[in-house]
Structure 1
Amino acid sequence: MAALSAALFVMPASAQETEAEDATNRLGTVTVTARKVEENLQDVPVSVTAFTGELLAEKGVVEVADIAAFTPGFTTREANSNSTALVFSLRGQLQNDVLATLDPSVGTYVDDVYWARAYGLNFNLLDMESVQVLKGPQGTLFGRNTTGGALVFTSAKPDASAISGKGSVTLGNLNAQVYEGVLNLPVVTDRIAVRAAVRQSNRDGYITDLISGEEYNDRDITNARLKVLIAPHDDVELILSAEVYDEDMNGPGYGTIFGTGLTGAFLAGISPVPPVGPIPVAVPGYTDVVNSSGGDSVALDGDPFLTATAQTYSGVLNWDIGPGTLKLVAGDRRISSRTRTDLDGFAFPAGAGDSLHITTTVLDLSQTSFEAQYAGQGMNDRLQYVMGGTWFEETGFDATLTDLRVVPNPVILRFFGDVDTKSIGLYGQGTYDLTDRLRATVGLRYSEDEKGITTFNGNSIAGSDVFVSCSGGQAPPNCAETYSDTYDDLSYTFGLDFKPTANTLVYGKFSHGYRSGGQNLRLNGTADLDFDPETVDEFEAGFKGDLADNRVRFNVSAFTNKVKDAQRSIIVVVGSGNATVVQNAAEMTNTGLELEATVIPAEGWTLQGSAAVIDTSYDEYVDAGQDVSDRRIIGVPESEFALAATYERPLSFAKFMARIDYAWRDSYYNNELAPSAPASTPALQEAITAPASDVLNARLGLSFENGWDVSLWGRNILDDRSKLTGLYLGNFGYVSGRFREPATYGVTASYRFGAE
């Protein structure tokens, strides 16, 4: 099956935008670190979309979802089981589940530290200096699990030269209150400095429970970061960082958005008075089962909740040792999450106080990593190179408990797993100036992963913790199985780039990427315990140019990639319930085009846009002996576009700023259906498809010379309530879903001093 993905939006400035001599009429230089060293975006033969901290503040961006909306070819959504965990899709590569045994296809790096799990990331854009989205396989420099690309987040660094700071208060509808503060404090001038940042975000829910009156999908998030800069010498710099993230939510509020015909006999175990017909037949006591409120209301009986915490500690040492720079990066990250989700989304029967389908998840993971990197030049500065090595370990516990009050017996499906992953990598990449305008790049990386798991997969009777049957090959009472596997791969890249003029670049490159294999945490007795690594071979060609006397910036890239053993999460039947297992699709192909542009048509005006198209299809896919290569590929919109316009004008008392941006995204598929699912039913296909969406944002602001700023803003002004997820639970006969947040609006007042 084929899909198109297009996104038209902002050509954001990235890591660092220098002041041009005529800032209102010329585009400044954009500095990125896509190749582990600082370079001008327009000189880098890599497709990159990036944002400065200034632009993030200008747009009011605090969520990674906003970054995705404004990046061509990149989509993100909250995981079905945990809204604080994100699922990314880039260039047809995606991770459709957030289990500890399934690695992502888009790698996440925060202050040079690899985050194996994107828990707590969505609302964690606190005091950011830059955000960069690198597209295509990045395995040579960034390692395994970057077959789709990499997200690179860099928080603001302490400044030892002068004191500075900023603070803001935001008030909005839904009783939204956001308080943020940043303080940069030199301890020893030019040698030691401390930078602290904290944000507290609260908001009421927007989904009402018709039974209890509870409001779901509220927000209570605290995140804070402390960074210390120590520079004992001009050539040595050490940055220590500690950050915490804490989230509590009443919810999420799922609703049943489609019924396929669930029989009364199947539900006999839930109530002494079962329904006499299939959902959604209106029977007294069972009416309004299918949610038609568009996400405004539900009728739950499972008391849903979410809590998540994360602590991240890191140290980065940069040492200029003459011919090159040595960088040492050490990181330690710990995440903990607890959720309870009422997936059926209705009280069944109304007022009975019992539950049909409740899922509880428990996750505790710790990771430790270390990287040594050396970057330098040679051969009379015609060769620029980077080389290094990495070590990574992750251990912990992941569990899912599904409470099913159905016949023949009400049961609890229990899927537990103790995981232990170790990984090493060695890499090197160099760029050689063949002439003054022609360069060649070659890179190579060796990766080795050792993964071990002990699973406890079985069923217990409701109200008991004792296994009465096992989902895997073992027998009660413990239902335990222990396995380990080792995977390795050589990732590589090579390419040429040519500068026809000083302000244009043409490039072509080939990359091979690797996504580690693993073991299934959830077993159903038929699925393979382990799944193979996924590999991607991609060719990309592109053009970058600053035109019209630096008033127009236009970047375009075309790519095609071949994915072998693509890892896909499939919903299968386990006893009387469902579980998600990972299996390898034989082969798939993605071909696309991406472009970004920025235009300064007149003084004070900036117009921005970007676009991407991608055609995706399975070349070969056999599931349970059936050819399913015509399946739609999930998580890839057929098309998107977005536009933005910014106007700035100095006034006698302040600087005025107005910004409006609009993003439209076509529909995309949410679920991989097992062969037994009635995939040909148009109504079911529609239910598990996220429909097209359009989001309009606007912002008006005044920036005063005395440091005060005030802005009025609105997000999702058109109040697009399109469905975000559609989770098909086949043997229960319904599709559960969530919807986009409603329109929000408010005012932000802030004060800054020093260099902020």
Structure 2
Amino acid sequence: MFRTQALLLAAASTVAFAASASAQAEIHSAQTQTYTIEAGAMQSALDAWARQSKRHIVYRIEDVRGLRSPGVKGRYSEFEALSAILAGSGLALHRDPSGAVAVSRDTAATGNGGTALAASAPQVTPATDPSADGDSSEIQDIIVTARRTQERAQKVPVAITAFTQDTIREKGINTATDLQNFTPSLTVLGDVARNQETFTIRGMGGTGGVGTGSGPGVVAYFAEVPSSVSGPGNFYDLASLQVLKGPQGTLFGRNTTGGAVLLEPARPKMNTVEGYVDGIIGSLARKSGQAALNIPVVDDRLAIRVAGQFDKRDGYVTDAITGRDYLNRNNYSLRVGVQFNPTDTISSYTAASYIHVDEHGGGSILLSVRPGSPYASVLAPYLAQQQAWGVRKTALSTPTFEKARNFLVLNNTEWRATDTLTIKNIVSYGRSQSTSATDRDSTPLPIADLLGAFPGGWNNNLRTITEELQVRYDNGTFRVQAGGFYLDQKSIGALTFLTRNPLQAGGILGGGPIILPPIAQTLLGVNGPLLPALGVQPDASVKGRSKAVYAQAQYKFTPTLTATAGFRWTWDTFGGDITSYQDASSYQVFNQLAALGLVTPAQAAQVIGLNANLCTYDAFKAVAAGGFPTLHYPNCTKPTFNGKSDGPTWQIGLDWQADPDTLLYAVSRRGYKSGANNPIVTLFLGDSYPLAAVKPEKVTDAEIGIKRDWRLGGMKARTNVSAFYTWFNDIQVIQRAAIAGSDILANAQKARVVGLEFEGLLVPNKWLTLGATYSYNDAKFLTYTTIPIPAIPSALTAAQPARDLKGVPFSFVPRHKFSLDGRIGLPIPASEGDMGLRATWSWQSSQRVAPDAQPFDTIPAYGLLNLRFEWNNMRGAPLDFAVYGTNVLNKEYRITANTGYNNSGFNNSIYGEPAQYGVELRYRF
């Protein structure tokens, strides 16, 4: 049998879970062994007993906090040793008929599960694996921190999908895109830069970015610190991964309208050396590995945990011209955690994490071209060729790439001032740097290419500081948590960009693209009918700041009926500046055109003199005002943009623990997302135009749910169901009517989402486990009339009238999603280990990706089948072996959408990973 890593890590990290223990059992055993347990903290003594006896034990953190044990040395039966450890402590020993062992100060408290218990378990089963030893087929709980304290997931009145590290490994979750296949109501939005992933839960998500406002609808947290990192290198050596649904703000540092994704790293354990090494070899030349080592330094006081991972494999899309592979994997991560407990009442966790990504990106596929658009004639043959190639081959004009470096250091210190009062401080410093080259037209033509940053520079180079102070009071009947949160984010150094677009017949401010006949292409020595112009952004900066105060209180009217109320107010400010010009070298081709007689020398001189190093935004302003552009780099003005907003968040709820296995709850929440601005609108239409400023997004929901564990004869089952209705006011959306090639953020007046979520687990016996998830989300706009945009000659933008989009469904929200998971244990002797076959099927219905009708405006429904054979604890050794297959039916499915058909005249997409196979070997010590 193999360990449930989440529970094992919980033992020394004071992770808590509730359990039932009934009649006191016999405390003597016929078998004896030698115990060596030093006198000291009671929690450490209980953990040592669990390790030496190889028994599972549960206890309340509050019950053992501050207690000392006399220890035990000598030969004893397991319960004689445990009784000696508990001597004089006031703790009582309990054991239920299944053999589970618990200690508590109050026998009644262990019956209702109302207080969290800590688990110490050297060898226990995974949360979804029924077989531990003997006849055990219990469904284990995952410890979650949804309410900023450690609790059993089944006792928290919040819709949560939670994973242990073992579950993450078994389901092959390496990125957020993988995570969405197994999480109800979660969608991960991608772009033609594959690792730029954005979470959306129940139709709510998205972000406007630093400087422009519009905070994230869903925030990812690492060890309680908000993080913007969502790509590869995050999902390893975790105690748990939790997806919280619905507005979160009255308990969390950063307010959100859609939910939160919590990554809880495995924290260092006291007094034990342990770890693991895991390696994978697979198709597409995959080589992947991860490892962790827990090092105790000072008994009960100081421990260190070091972990790391790397993932390399070839891409699954090939460039037909260059042979370059796209959508490969090449990343590594390092993590160091230090747990320091100077006293029995102070615990301090410090962690440093580094993620490095250097991948080829790319791989986008041209899907359609709009007839009559500016590039229709030149794109048509490339579209025909792409259709002949299929989705695993492309040809791009830019050697695309994605590079990123992310560093985070944090400290989470908790002081248990009294038995009822706890003070916690969480501070972090982060650096995030990234640059990418993308080919947004997915052809060898220079139509819309981002070439990345200046050599040695970054597209994004951000420094983030967060500080959160929280105070928690809990006397068992009344619990209140209050705190303040501060986030300061700004660019460090210039943000630089290089972009490439076709030259216009009259320069950047006039005419259509220059399309050369074949003879001119030959004479000029160019590859293709379009001449490229290079746009340069030598300098830009952004900044954003968020401040908030919050409080949430819980009151138990009875031991089983609890009311919750919370409130928060948030203040946001944002802004930035930018400089841009047209590179002079792009226009020297006009001298060649003049030499060939295609233009006159006077025309060439005029175009070069006007456009070489022309200050882009100053030129737009001049032409829009009826003037003539005159400013050239470095004499450009620096347009600035800024804004601010504030708003409330609240929650009110009621939950009833009807019996130890049944929790019912009802909750209503208000979510707030920061207002924003559109710099491009301000530039061309002024800051008083209705689209310049974006209003804050306000969300109100109502949710009811039931969490229930069942015993059906000899079978065990779990069913969690929630239903919700969400109202939106001024929901923030992307209006796909661009100015100067830039999409704009806007407000839809009213919208709603109606939904249902289900998660179930059935364990008929120790050989079979069946799981299922399902979500239904009906998300649509109730009132949405777009704001018209006038014709802007200087921005090459035609007039765009208002459109009524009432009744249009949300983009990137499948109405139905489900997953089915089954594991069959194979009948081998217990001494040989645990062997089983696992199959997982995930499916989602079609989803709209654009509010306006166009080709490929919907991603069709698709399903993915993963298979896994696993042999854990091989021959009784701490060794796990697995053979896996992902997407074994080799389904072709889209994971991104660039819906520019009605705007730029074409659209494209990235497709998901093909079938892959491999073997995995894991050694635990």
TM-score band, normalised by the shorter chain? 0.7 to 0.9
Unpaired runs of at least 5, structure 1: 1-11, 268-274, 349-354, 674-678
Specify which of 573, 596, 601 is matched with residue 450 of structure 1.
Answer: 573
Specify which of 859, 879, 899 is matched with residue 728 of structure 1.
Answer: 899
Q: Tell me the distance in 2 between the aligned counterparts of 1:691 and 1:344.
A: 22
Aligned partners of 2:206 and 2:216 also within 8 Å: yes
Does residue 94 of the first structure (1) align with residue 221 of the second (2)? no
Specify which of 367, 371, 380 is matched with residue 464 of structure 2.
Answer: 367
The aligned runs of 1:254-333 (5 Å cut-off) are 254-261=364-371, 266-267=374-375, 277=377, 279-280=379-380, 282=381, 288-322=384-418, 323-333=420-430
Q: Tell me the distance in 1 between the aligned counterparts of 2:200 and 2:619.
A: 31
Q: Counterpart of 1:382? A: 477
Q: Tell me the distance in 2 between the aligned counterparts of 1:118 and 1:144.
A: 15
Instruction: Among all aligned residue pairs of Structure 1 and Structure 2, give the percentage whose two residues are the same amino acid.
Output: 27
> How far 1:620 sits from its partner (Å)?
1.2
Q: Tell me the distance in 1 between the aligned counterparts of 2:194 and 2:379.
A: 27
Specify which of 349, 357, 365 is matched with residue 448 of structure 2.
Answer: 357
Q: Counterpart of 2:870? A: 701
Aligned partner of residue 56 in structure 1, secondary structure: helix
Aligned partner of residue 600 in structure 1, secondary structure: strand
Higher-Rg member (1/2): 2
Aligned partner of residue 42 in structure 1, secondary structure: helix
Q: Tell me the distance in 2 between the aligned counterparts of 1:97 and 1:473.
A: 24
Q: Tell me the distance in 1 between the aligned counterparts of 2:252 and 2:750.
A: 24
After alignment, is 455-464 or 623-632 more displaced? Answer: 455-464
Specify which of 320, 332, 352 is matched with residue 242 of structure 1.
Answer: 352
- CA gap 1:186/1:262 in 2 versus in 1, 3 angstroms: farther
What residue identity is the alignment partner of 1:525? F
Does residue 128 of the first structure (1) align with residue 238 of the second (2)? yes
> How far 1:486 sits from its partner (Å)?
2.4
Aligned partner of residue 443 in structure 2, secondary structure: coil
What residue identity is the alignment partner of 1:422? R
Does residue 44 of the first structure (1) align with residue 44 of the second (2)? no
Q: Tell me the distance in 2 between the aligned counterparts of 1:473 and 1:385.
A: 54
Q: Tell me the distance in 1 between the aligned counterparts of 2:613 and 2:862.
A: 44
The C-alpha deviation readout for 1:156-178, integer Å capped at 9, x for no partner, is 00112111111122100110001
Q: Counterpart of 2:799? A: none
The aligned runs of 1:464-503 (5 Å cut-off) are 465-470=613-618, 476-477=631-632, 478-503=636-661
Q: Tell me the distance in 2 between the aligned counterparts of 1:724 and 1:642.
A: 18
- CA gap 1:370/1:472 in 2 versus in 1, 3 angstroms: farther
Aligned partners of 1:130 and 1:153 also within 8 Å: yes
The aligned runs of 1:219-618 (5 Å cut-off) are 219-261=329-371, 266-267=374-375, 277=377, 279-280=379-380, 282=381, 288-322=384-418, 323-348=420-445, 355-361=446-452, 362-378=459-475, 381-396=476-491, 401-408=498-505, 409=507, 411-412=533-534, 417-456=540-579, 463=586, 465-470=613-618, 476-477=631-632, 478-523=636-681, 525-526=684-685, 528-548=691-711, 551-575=716-740, 578-618=741-781
> How far 1:432 sits from its partner (Å)?
0.6
Aligned partners of 1:458 and 1:472 also within 8 Å: no
> How far 1:472 sits from its partner (Å)?
7.0
Q: Tell me the distance in 2 between the aligned counterparts of 1:278 and 1:244.
A: 44
> How far 1:725 sits from its partner (Å)?
2.1
The C-alpha deviation readout for 1:4-24, integer Å capped at 9, x for no partner, is xxxxxxxx9998778684854
- CA gap 1:436/1:187 in 2 versus in 1, 3 angstroms: closer
> How far 1:630 sits from its partner (Å)?
3.7
The C-alpha deviation readout for 1:287-340, integer Å capped at 9, x for no partner, is 735445442000112111111110011011011111222111111111111111
After alignment, is 449-458 or 639-648 more displaced? Answer: 449-458
Q: Tell me the distance in 2 between the aligned counterparts of 1:60 and 1:328.
A: 34
Q: Counterpart of 1:739? A: 911
Aligned partners of 2:724 and 2:756 also within 8 Å: yes
The C-alpha deviation readout for 1:665-719, integer Å capped at 9, x for no partner, is 112122344xxxxx2xxxx34x132221111111111122222221101111111
Q: Counterpart of 1:30? A: 142
Q: Tell me the distance in 1 between the aligned counterparts of 2:229 and 2:364.
A: 22
Q: Counterpart of 2:27? A: none
Aligned partners of 1:167 and 1:181 also within 8 Å: yes
The C-alpha deviation readout for 1:219-273, integer Å capped at 9, x for no partner, is 110111011111111111111111111111123121211111256xx45xxxxxx
> How far 1:68 sits from its partner (Å)?
1.8
Query: Number of residue pairs matched?
Result: 705
What residue identity is the alignment partner of 1:324? L
Q: Counterpart of 2:188? A: 76
Specify which of 218, 222, 232 is matched with residue 110 of structure 1.
Answer: 222
Specify which of 151, 161, 168 is matched with residue 261 of structure 2.
Answer: 151
After alignment, is 292-301 or 12-21 more displaced? Answer: 12-21
After alignment, is 420-429 or 469-478 more displaced? Answer: 469-478
What residue identity is the alignment partner of 1:671? A
Q: Tell me the distance in 2 between the aligned counterparts of 1:190 and 1:312.
A: 27
Q: Tell me the distance in 2 between the aligned counterparts of 1:731 and 1:146.
A: 31
- CA gap 1:358/1:236 in 2 versus in 1, 3 angstroms: same
Aligned partners of 1:522 and 1:580 also within 8 Å: no
After alignment, is 727-736 or 234-243 more displaced? Answer: 727-736
The C-alpha deviation readout for 1:380-410, integer Å capped at 9, x for no partner, is x311221111111000165655421153346
> How far 1:343 sits from its partner (Å)?
1.6
Aligned partner of residue 639 in structure 2, secondary structure: strand
Aligned partners of 1:208 and 1:215 also within 8 Å: yes
Aligned partners of 2:369 and 2:906 also within 8 Å: yes
Specify which of 173, 177, 198 is matched with residue 287 of structure 2.
Answer: 177
- CA gap 1:315/1:144 in 2 versus in 1, 3 angstroms: closer
Q: Tell me the distance in 1 between the aligned counterparts of 2:620 and 2:470.
A: 43
Q: Tell me the distance in 2 between the aligned counterparts of 1:622 and 1:551.
A: 51
- CA gap 1:471/1:696 in 2 versus in 1, 3 angstroms: farther
Q: Which has the higher helix share?
A: 2
What residue identity is the alignment partner of 1:202? K
Does residue 647 of the first structure (1) align with residue 824 of the second (2)? yes
What residue identity is the alignment partner of 2:500? D
Aligned partners of 1:495 and 1:508 also within 8 Å: yes
What residue identity is the alignment partner of 2:879? W
- CA gap 1:653/1:522 in 2 versus in 1, 3 angstroms: farther
Q: Tell me the distance in 2 between the aligned counterparts of 1:212 and 1:552.
A: 55
Aligned partners of 1:260 and 1:279 also within 8 Å: no
Aligned partners of 1:256 and 1:289 also within 8 Å: no
Relative to the length of structure 2, the TM-score reads 0.72
Aligned partner of residue 834 in structure 2, secondary structure: strand
Q: Which has the higher strand share?
A: 1
Aligned partners of 1:446 and 1:491 also within 8 Å: yes
What residue identity is the alignment partner of 2:229? A
> How far 1:411 sits from its partner (Å)?
4.6
Q: Greater RCO between the two (CA within 8 Å, min separation 6)?
A: 1
Q: Counterpart of 1:3? A: none
